Structure 1
Amino acid sequence: MASFFEGLWESIFTPGPTPTLLVATNVTFAALQMVLAGMLYATYSVHFVVLSVLCGGLWAAINWFARELKEHQQQEEEEKKRRALASARPRPVSSPDDSETEVEATKSTASLRKGPPPPVSKPVAVSTEVEPAETHGELKLRVVEEALSPSQGIKSSVSTEDEWEKVSENEKDK
Structure 2
Amino acid sequence: MANFLSDLFNSIFTPGVTPSIIIATNVSFAALQLVLLVLLVLTYSVHFVVLSFLCAGLWWAINWFVTELEAANQKEKEGKQLRDARRGQDDQGADDSGTETEGGGNQSEGAVVASKSEGLLRPDDARGALRKRRSLGEASSGDLSTDSEWDKVEEAGDMDK
TM, length-normalised to structure 1? 0.57
Higher helix share: 2
Aligned to 2:5: 5
Deviant stretches of 4+, over 3 Å: none
SS at the partner of 2:17?
A: coil
Mark the runs of 5 or more structure 1 residues left unpaired by the alignment: 105-132, 141-174
Larger radius of gyration: 1
CA shift, 1:82, in A, is 0.5
1:1-174 correspondence runs (5 A) = 1-89=1-89, 90-91=92-93, 92-93=96-97, 94-95=99-100, 98=110, 134-135=146-147, 136-137=149-150
How many residue pairs get matched?
110
Mark the runs of 5 or more structure 2 residues left unpaired by the alignment: 102-106, 119-144, 155-161
RMSD (CA atoms): 2.2
CA shift, 1:39, in A, is 0.5
**Distance in 2 between the 1:48 and 1:39 partners?**
7
**Distance in 1 between the 2:146 and 2:5 partners?**
75
**Distance in 1 between the 2:70 and 2:62 partners?**
12
Deviation digits for residues 124-145 of structure 1 (CA, Å, limit 9, x no counterpart): xxxxxxxxx82242587xxxxx
Q: Greater RCO between the two (CA within 8 Å, min separation 6)? A: 1
- Which amino acid in structure 1 is aligned with residue 53 of structure 2? V
Instruction: Quote the sequence identity (%).
Output: 47
**Distance in 2 between the 1:100 and 1:66 partners?**
48
- Which amino acid in structure 2 is aligned with residue 54 of structure 1? L
**Distance in 1 between the 2:7 and 2:67 partners?**
20
**Distance in 1 between the 2:150 and 2:50 partners?**
70
TM, length-normalised to structure 2? 0.62
**Distance in 2 between the 1:12 and 1:6 partners?**
10
